Amino acid sequence: MNSPPLRLWSGQTLHKRFVPFERGFRYQLALIDIDIDRLAEAGRMSRLFTVNKPGVFSFHEADHGGDQRTGSLRAWAEDIFATAGVALQAGRVRLVTFPRHFFYKFAPLSLWYGYGAEGDLRGIIYEVRNTFGERHCYVAAVEGTRSVHSADKSFYVSPFFDVSGQYRFTLRDPGETLDVVVENMKDGARTHLANIKARKLEATTANLTMLALKNPLSTIGVTFAIHWQALLLWMRGAKYHSRPALPGRQATLAQEPLPFTTTRPDSSR
């Protein structure tokens, strides 16, 4: 199936904590969806979007793939997909992420969708970043248009959650809507939920202008929201967990889903 080199997603994310107390918030977001093999084409679609140079909105290859990456983004993604046994056979790789807005970008989660030559979704990479400038990936093979998979938590994201338990991912192949759910699981119960729900937009100058006006702080606003919510959690007495060393691998494999219950884990542990 043909798809443009660049498209947009406009929607919101919800975060909800369940232990040791309930706390939820949501905020608006704007994402880009770019074919990593057609970056030059994407950079010509609007005067408000550039590739590897400053702009109102832009995409910089250096923002992804890790500090150790020496080859192309395509080669890096294929290596990560291979750890989950995913072979794309020259199929598309689309990256859904936050754009760089003027001089700044922070993407707590970027989604790499890997497709086969016939357009079938075969794999997903969840590229996760924390506010300390660190990153880690979770990677899974995907069959069909909807997939549920889980992985041991191995990367420090929030000072108010330790690196224990698992992630449970629910993913749908993007069509007219983007729908992703990430749940923190511990002892078979859910401790935290985050999701992204967005609708697709064409990457036109008019739509980019609308997003700039609707959400002028863009990714700076995401960073502010993260720190503001962390302050509120601290004020409510959430336990602070020190940052451990990074895992010794680029990616953690996500596989079969975990059993799910609605029972809350013991928050005293």
Give residue 21's domain range.
6-253
- DSSP for 155-195, please give it: S---TTS-S-SEEEEEEE--SSEEEEEEEEEETTEEEEEEE
| Of 64-68, 228-232, 253-257, the least confident | 228-232
Mean pLDDT of the chain: 87
Q: Which residue has the higher pLDDT, 231 or 38?
A: 38
Give residue 262's pLDDT. 47
Percentage of the chain lying above the pLDDT 70 cut? 86
Count: domains in the chain: 1
Predicted confidence (pLDDT) per residue in 93-151, tens digit: 999 999 998 888 989 999 999 999 999 999 999 999 998 889 999 999 998 899 999 99
pLDDT tier, 218 (very low <50, low <70, confident <90, very high otherwise)? low
> What is the rounded CA–CA span in Å between residue 216 and residue 7?
19
Specify the long-range contacts of residues 81-87, CB closer than 8 Å, at least 24 apart.
81/114, 81/122, 81/123, 81/125, 81/139, 83/139, 83/251, 83/253, 84/123, 84/139, 84/140, 84/141, 84/253, 84/254, 85/141, 86/114, 86/122, 86/123, 86/139, 86/141, 87/122
Is residue 1 included in any domain, yes or no? no
- Using the structure block, give the residue that is written with the tokens 């290596």: 79
Is pLDDT above 50 for 233? yes
Is residue 258 included in any domain, yes or no? no
pTM of the predicted protein model: 0.89
> What is the rounded CA–CA span in Å between residue 231 and residue 204?
37
β-pair type (23-35, 251-253): unpaired
Give residue 173's pLDDT. 95
Is residue 54 included in any domain, yes or no? yes
Is residue 85 included in any domain, yes or no? yes
Query: In a 3-state reduction of DSSP, which class is residue 200?
Result: strand
Q: Which two tokens stand for residue 217?
A: 């702080």
Is residue 17 included in any domain, yes or no? yes
Average pLDDT of the residues in 192-215: 93
> What is the rounded CA–CA span in Å between residue 197 and residue 220?
20
Is residue 268 included in any domain, yes or no? no
